[in-house]
Structure 1
Amino acid sequence: MEYVSIVGAGTMGNGIAHVFAQNGFKVSLIDVHPPQLDKAMATIAKNLERQVGKGMITEEKKIKTLQNIVTHTTIENGVQQAALVVEAATENIDIKLQLFQQLDAFAPANAILASNTSSISITKIASVTKRPNRVIGMHFMNPVPVMKLVEIINGYDTHPDVSNTIIALSIQLGKIPCVVNDYPGFIANRILMPMINEAIYSLYEGVANVEAIDTIMKLGMAHPMGPLQLADFIGLDVCLSILEVLHKGLGNPKYAPCPLLINMVTAGKLGVKSGEGFYTYTAGNKELIVSNRFRH
């Protein structure tokens, strides 16, 4: 496998492109918005420069990695040579179904079509293609160049050879693959999102403040960041979307999103991406400052 196409040049897409290119693959990075492609390439270059500065890679490796990436604004042109396509678009089922219909139409017949979805059914995505046995979930973690895990999700019809190929490929990328079956939230988010939701409920019900909740989980449970800070990092809109998938898909009231989370998303307080969530974020300031809304 030499040629890989990545659809979507956002945070996850550019990270996935970075990792494949750094490991010698020829990468086509596809996004309909040219400015997003420019931003993605600048981000990849900056992250590679950071790796050079830390002695993790050579300057030559950085240059070669960047040379391995070409950009496209159409799927038709971007997937013609692909042995693997990894879709990393917005976590929206309608967008993903539309993309996979296009990928199925334009990618080579034997290409594997993978989704980086964190919660949407692989079986559902596969159902709109003529190759459901060659559709799989390949869920990277953010930030992709740093995080080791790849959650591999087998759809109902995913062929074992396809699953084995993606397992081997993940190892080739220096990642640790874990295989799961296709049920709402898979494993990562089926366990993580109820924890985040419970942390938000604890704040909503006045059990503890933002700093106490996050500090208890960091110091008491050895989590690298607290659940409220992590929710801000993921995006509160994404957390809400995943909880809704869990609630609808499993029909259990324990997955119902906290009213505070719903209100925050409705008000546009989405975490890091909007500058405010449970904490406030300003460019260049790494200090963790609790949002005025939650200060007592």
Structure 2
Amino acid sequence: MTPPDTRTATTTQPALSGSLPAAVGVLGGGRMGAGIAHAFLLAGCRVHIVERDADTVEAARSRVETALTRSALKGAQIPDADTLTAGIDLAAFAGAGLVVEAVPEDRALKLDALRRIEEVVDEDAVLASNTSSISIDALAASLAYPERFLGLHFFNPVPASALVEVVIGARTHPGVVERATRWVDAIGKTAVVVRDAPGFASSRLGVALGLEAIRMLEEGVASAHDIDTAMERGYRHPMGPLRTTDLVGLDVRLGIAEELERAFGARFTPPALLRRLVAEGHLGRKSGRGFYEWSE
């Protein structure tokens, strides 16, 4: 719905409940959006994905269905086929209790996406961005009702990840924060609540480690395998920083590093090796090569 011009600083807030919304919308059906859809489907929600055209709609549907099949093989109860729908019309988000924006990590793209979502959702719907580094307050500035907006930063791959960062902006309503953390718990993940700051908590720390690992590789200190093994065996990290970067996507890590460099300066300057690999199209697992060779 289009908000009236006579709005005030407070809007109708969703009633607090541990129950998940009956319907969830996801804008963007790439690896992250499909993973988010998968998580809410397994928890019993109806989910609608919006993509840009017919081809990407089918690709998004296929990603989610593949993830559900894998979950079924592990013993999960799979929802009925009609609980997942996908299309190109944002108007399908009307009636959703939660809509998560999961478009690529580009500020202008996300601002436009959120504005368009707000035009069609109900007034009491919660809006969330899956951004991993862009300021929630900066994104909220484009919204008529920033009180119902926050960050829900899921991690890649969503089905295997146990964490969601709940990022609160300066104007996010406390009731929305409480509801979002309960929803995260209800989909079987752990919520950490952080205030809006560049890179939040996880991206800022994770990228700092990842960039230093890339510099070490660039300088010939050790191989990618040995750098990762040092962190896995020495510090009990489940996955080393270079393999993690391949999983996240080198292009995604580069974008986050550039965002953090603007905020914090040279300590987050992306290494030349990272820029070169991205320019050459070596983006990690999704392209088949990053710091490691990958195959399906």
- How high is the TM-score relative to the length of structure 1? 0.89
Name which of structure 1's ranges 262-271 and 45-54 shifts more when overlaid on structure 2.
Answer: 45-54
Aligned AA (2:266) = P
Aligned AA (2:286) = K
Which segments of 5 or more consecutive residues in structure 2 lack a partner in the other structure?
A: 1-20
- Offset of residue 33 of structure 1: 2.4
1:258 equivalent to 2:271? Answer yes
For residues 63-104 of structure 1, give each alpha carbon's deviation from its aligned partner in whole angstroms, at most 9, with x where no partner exists: 42x3211112121x2211112110111111110000011011
Aligned equivalent of 1:217, options 194, 212, 231 = 231
2:147 maps to what in 1? 133
Could you say if the C-alpha distance between residues 63 and 157 of structure 1 is closer, same or farther in structure 2, counting changes exceeding 3 Å?
closer
Aligned equivalent of 2:240, options 205, 226, 229 = 226
Length, aligned pairs only: 276
- Offset of residue 234 of structure 1: 0.9
- Offset of residue 42 of structure 1: 2.2
1:147 equivalent to 2:161? Answer yes
Equivalent residue of 2:167, what SS?
strand
2:47 maps to what in 1? 27
1:294 maps to what in 2? none
- Offset of residue 28 of structure 1: 1.2
- Sequence identity of aligned pairs in percent? 38
Which segments of 5 or more consecutive residues in structure 1 lack a partner in the other structure?
A: 284-296
Q: Is the 8 A contact 2:50 2:87 kept in 1?
A: yes
- Offset of residue 62 of structure 1: 1.8
For residues 165 and 138 of structure 1, the distance between their equivalents in structure 2, rounded to whole angstroms, comes to 12
For residues 52 and 4 of structure 1, the distance between their equivalents in structure 2, rounded to whole angstroms, comes to 21
Aligned AA (1:180) = V
Equivalent residue of 1:113, what SS?
strand
Aligned equivalent of 1:49, options 69, 74, 78 = 69
Equivalent residue of 2:198, what SS?
coil
CA RMSD of aligned residues (A): 1.3
1:84 maps to what in 2? 98
The residue correspondences of 1:98-109 to structure 2 (distance < 5 A) are 98-109=112-123
Aligned equivalent of 1:3, options 16, 23, 33 = 23
1:235 maps to what in 2? 249
For residues 46 and 295 of structure 2, the distance between their equivalents in structure 1, rounded to whole angstroms, comes to 36
For residues 252 and 34 of structure 2, the distance between their equivalents in structure 1, rounded to whole angstroms, comes to 18
- Considering Cα pairs closer than 8 Å and 6+ residues apart, tell me whether 1 or 2 has the greater RCO: 2
The residue correspondences of 1:151-170 to structure 2 (distance < 5 A) are 151-170=165-184
Aligned AA (1:33) = D
For residues 212 and 27 of structure 1, the distance between their equivalents in structure 2, rounded to whole angstroms, comes to 42
